[in-house]
Amino acid sequence: MSKRPDGVVRGPLAPHAAGFRAELARLGYSKSAARKHLQLMARLSEWAETHDLGVCEATAAQAEQFFSERRKEGRANLLTTRSLGPLLEYLRRGGVVPEPQPPVIAGPVEVFLETYRAYLARERGLVDGTTRFYVHVARLLVSEHAGADGLRLGELAAPEVMAFAARACRHRGLSSTRQVVSALRSLLRFLRLEGVTAFALDQAVLSVAGWTPSLPRAIDPGDAARLLRSCDRRTSAGRRDDAILTMLLRLGLRGGEVVALELDDIDWQRGEIVVRGKRRREERLPLPADVGQAMAGYLQRGRPPSDSRRVFLRCFAPFSELGVGTGAIRGVLARACERAGVPYASPHRLRHTAATEMLRAGAPLSEIAQVLRHHSPTTTSMYASVDHRRLRELARPWPGGAA
């Protein structure tokens, strides 16, 4: 390819160069990052012109050849079709290129699994990670009963279900086995609900024997303080991470609940927030002063301008939402633990920490259940085993006195 001045776009993409430059600036890209994307646009447009391609062809599957040549040239960055993300998004919003078409679902197994996936998401309100695992288990079972004439799920019987459960759980640990059993029961209840099977085959899946002796594992209060001190509140990223960690430690929110929090969920007048929990339940929680202060600091001096209504955004362009699931929150925690010099703690361990600190402060289990939004008293009762002082008060004396 012939060399041309940086920033000069010629060829089929040239009419869109000025708008794309403005879009990169609006999204918060630094001058150097924006320059790289504009250079990529110029090189792609030049390549498309050389190969007599239009705009849609230059940004579609044929662009893989362009990136293959780019890699052979020894380029250091923007080497895959994923690099076209910002440009494609801009062109799609302007109607220049069409939206990508969803993959065609073909075959009885895929059609059934797509129906089941929609049921889990819409009817049961399961989060993406749980939905993916349940569909994975369903695929294992359904694939065994697919033939040339379609699915033969109506022929399922209890012995086959029990044999499948044994095979699927082989070589798994206790926790993983329980997850498989839950997923299998869910699938079998769905089959009964849809009228595919005539019997409640979920009753054939036995409960998993075993006892998990580990207590809720809270992190040390000193480690919790070090995590918060590791956030540099002079920077946007530090203010954001401080607000996230404070919410996890004080309110015991799940990682996905932090990601889903929106600006309209904060009621500053009442001092409350709306939390979107499991199965799409929305519940109100009080907003403690320190949590509100951390959030206000981020919103006033750390959150970048964005059309998104999500509270927490990426710290680097494009300033978009953190994404789906808990991956971003785990990343925030991992970096904080590394800065603080403490072992990695998952978001759920910080949830345990919040509950344990409330218990040590004298809060009854009923109040802890309200904050953690437990819908079964049994779930909260496990924290009683953490407070040794209260257990001592409940312990009965040994017959005959001390040995």
Say whether 348 is catalytic: yes
Q: Which of 276, 348, 373, 390 is catalytic?
A: 348
Under the banding of pLDDT at 50, 70 and 90, the label for residue 82 is confident
What integer pLDDT is reported at residue 208 of this predicted model?
85
Say whether 351 is catalytic: yes
What integer pLDDT is reported at residue 400 of this predicted model?
66
Say how far apart CA 368 and CA 389 lie, in whole Å: 17
What integer pLDDT is reported at residue 223 of this predicted model?
95
Residue 168 pLDDT > 50 = yes
Under the banding of pLDDT at 50, 70 and 90, the label for residue 210 is confident
Q: Which of 70, 233, 254, 303 is catalytic?
A: 254
Q: Which of 43, 70, 351, 352 is catalytic?
A: 351
What integer pLDDT is reported at residue 212 of this predicted model?
60
Q: Which of 74 and 266 is assigned the larger pLDDT?
A: 266
Under the banding of pLDDT at 50, 70 and 90, the label for residue 401 is low
Residue 185 pLDDT > 70 = yes
Q: What is the pTM of this model?
A: 0.75
Q: Which pLDDT tens digit goes with each residue over 309-319?
A: 999 999 888 88
Q: Which of 257 and 81 is assigned the larger pLDDT?
A: 257
CATH number of 221-390: 1.10.443.10
Three-state SS for the chain is CCCCCCCCCCCCCHHHHHHHHHHHHHCCCCHHHHHHHHHHHHHHHHHHHHCCCCHHHHCCCCHHHHHHHHHHCCCCCCCCHHHHHHHHHHHHHCCCCCCCCCCCCCCHHHHHHHHHHHHHHHHCCCCHHHHHHHHHHHHHHHHCCEECCEECHHHCCHHHHHHHHHHHHCCCCHHHHHHHHHHHHHHHHHHHHCCCCCCCHHHHCCCCCCCCCCCCCCCCHHHHHHHHHCCCCCCHHHHHHHHHHHHHHHHCCCHHHHHHCEHHHEECCCCEEEEECHHHCEEEEECCHHHHHHHHHHHHHCCCCCCCCECCECCCCCCCECCCCCHHHHHHHHHHHHHHCCCCCCHHHHHHHHHHHHHHCCCCHHHHHHHHCCCCHHHHHHHHHHCHHHHHHHCCCCCCCCC
Q: Where are the domains of the chain?
A: 14-93, 108-204, 221-390
Say whether 373 is catalytic: no
Under the banding of pLDDT at 50, 70 and 90, the label for residue 115 is very high
Mean pLDDT of 166-174: 91
Percent of the chain with pLDDT over 70: 91
Same fold yes or no, 108-204 and 221-390 = no
To the nearest 10°, report the CA torsion of 287, 291, 292, 298: -140
Q: Which of 62 and 363 is assigned the larger pLDDT?
A: 363
Mean pLDDT of 62-88: 82
Q: Which pLDDT tens digit goes with each residue over 122-161?
A: 888 888 888 999 999 999 999 999 887 789 999 899 999 9
Q: Which of 226, 310, 373, 374 is catalytic?
A: 374
Nearest partner of 285 among 254, 307, 313, judged by Cα: 254
What integer pLDDT is reported at residue 381 of this predicted model?
76
Q: Work out the number of other CB atoms within 10 angstroms of the CB of residue 178.
A: 16
Say whether 383 is catalytic: yes
Q: Which pLDDT tens digit goes with each residue over 18-65?
A: 999 999 988 888 888 899 999 999 989 998 888 888 888 777 667 788
Mean pLDDT of 93-102: 82
Say whether 254 is catalytic: yes
CATH number of 108-204: 1.10.150.130
Q: Which of 35, 124, 276, 278 is catalytic?
A: 278
